[in-house]
Structure 1
Amino acid sequence: MKFGSILQACRERAGLSQEELAEKLNRTQSCISKFEKDKRIPDMTTFMQWIQTTQTQEVAVAFLYGMDGINLLQQMMPLIGGLIFFV
């Protein structure tokens, strides 16, 4: 699994466009695109801001422990959707 794919999935899960995330992270849309296409690797500060902004801390933990972040997102979406529905 490529790191950029995980970042993209986190952004999409949060419902943010590349432009919106770029604004929140004080980056350019081009920079966000490069991260997502694995043409650039974010530093730890940027990675943590990305995770906090997209509220995907569980994906970061899974990735750092060597788990498949995309698979984790797919498994959690029905649960999260159900929780939001009942709140």
Structure 2
Amino acid sequence: MTRGAGFLALWLVLMGPAMKDLPVGVVAAAAAAWTSTVLWPARGSLSFPGVLRFLVRFLPQAVAAGIDVARRAFALVPPLQPGFVT
């Protein structure tokens, strides 16, 4: 029940408290609560070596991506070509 209320609160924050959207929000929150209950792992544990491997692999890539975005955003002539790909 608490999980469903949390999902419904998230729905209300994202969509606003319009009464016409509330039935869809209730159904979506119920589906999300049921799905998260079914898919939740039986036991969740973190291992220190696993977290360390993740950080060693993730942090350099995150820093490189941040530098790349900053370089593109602050370039005098941005190497971006906005548009739609069809």
- Shorter chain as denominator, the TM-score bin is under 0.3
| Larger RCO (CA under 8 A, 6+ residues apart) | 1
Answer 1 or 2: which has greater helix percent: 1
Q: Which has the larger radius of gyration?
A: 2
The alignment's TM-score, normalised by the length of structure 1, stands at 0.27
